Amino acid sequence: MENLIAVARQVAVLFALIGVGAATRWTGILKDAAAEGLVDLLVIVVTPCVIANSFVRPFEPSMAGGLAAAFAIAFAAHVAAIFLAKALVRKGAADTRCVLRMTVVFSNAGFMGIPLEQAIIGADGVFYGSAYIVAFNLFMWTWGLREMQGDRGGVGMRRILVNPGTVGLAAGLPVFLLSIPLPAVVSAPLGHMADLNTPLAMIVIGHSLARANLGKVLRCGAAHFAAFLRLVAFPLLVVAALVPLRGRVPRDMLLAVVVAASAPVAAMVSMFATRFRRDVDTAAALVSGTTLASVATMPPVIALAMKLL
């Protein structure tokens, strides 16, 4: 119960910020075009800074081993989610089916995961959580891109190798492995940019919620099922799979993976649906709807993981 209350308190803080984001749209303070610009800022600039900043620490062999283990687990989790999505989401129009499969596979590990990892676990949570984001980007720009565009084009190697996750990793990993001391003129701006992630991400999510049409999802049984897989079934499977690793790897790493895996649908699903002209309404509603529902699903899942791991 203590774990549940602690996690619920942190989720409530994030949703207070989400409320601010919703208010900015209702009042007209933040226009839709400006919100889209903030999304680009978060994805292209802030996310790499968050990842790189998490590596600004002296090298520790145990942390390096935990990071490698976190990436391996995150990679396996995405593979398992893809098999789950393809096996259980098989019906419906192609434009909707690809959105539902992406819903199952891709969590909002950056916008929702990182703030919770920071609040619940601390700096180590963000450090290990960065591995999940790298795996997320790897699969988003390969399998996810292929799923969304279908036969409309191939997957470019540049998109696989150069994305926010790999850029942040490439910038931060040498700093950690070599224990490179960063001058204040570099570390201070990097830290300030990383600090923007939580408030800006929550404001963007709130702004998106304020303009979402949730009615379509509420009338779609397949969307309900996909949301259940994303918010409940898959996170519980991850917790069960990690229990045998208790005591063998850092606990903070296991908790960081659970936080990332239990997050609602990634905002990138809606962005991809818009870019490739898929079922945009369902994608946007699922991102918004699961974000709202996550206030009830994430605390018990994470609290369970804190008890079992």
pLDDT digits (tens, 9 = 90+) for 240-296: 999 999 988 999 999 999 999 999 998 878 777 877 777 777 887 888 788 888 888
pLDDT of residue 253: 93
19-32: pLDDT as tens digits: 898 899 899 898 88
pLDDT of residue 74: 94
**What is the C-alpha to C-alpha distance for residues 120 and 8, in angstroms, rounded to an integer?**
10
Place of tokens 């009042």: 27
pLDDT of residue 254: 94
pLDDT of residue 103: 94
Considering only residues 176 and 8, tell me which one the structure prediction assigns the higher pLDDT: 176
pLDDT of residue 262: 93
- Express as a percent the part of the chain with pLDDT over 90: 28
pLDDT of residue 22: 87
Q: Which domain holds residue 273?
A: 2-308
The sign of the CA dihedral 42, 43, 46, 51 is positive
pLDDT of residue 152: 54
Answer yes or no: is pLDDT of 165 > 90.
no
Q: Please compute, for residue 195, the number of CA atoms within 13 A of its CA located in the half-sphere on the CB side.
A: 6
114-138: pLDDT as tens digits: 888 888 888 888 889 888 988 888 8
**What is the C-alpha to C-alpha distance for residues 118 and 259, in angstroms, rounded to an integer?**
11
Q: What is the CATH number of the domain that holds 143?
A: 1.20.1530
pLDDT of residue 157: 65
61-89: pLDDT as tens digits: 888 888 899 999 999 999 999 999 999 98
Answer yes or no: is pLDDT of 149 > 60.
yes
**What is the C-alpha to C-alpha distance for residues 305 and 309, in angstroms, rounded to an integer?**
6
The structural domain count of the chain equals: 1
How far lies 99's CA from each of 102, 103, 169, in Å?
5, 6, 28
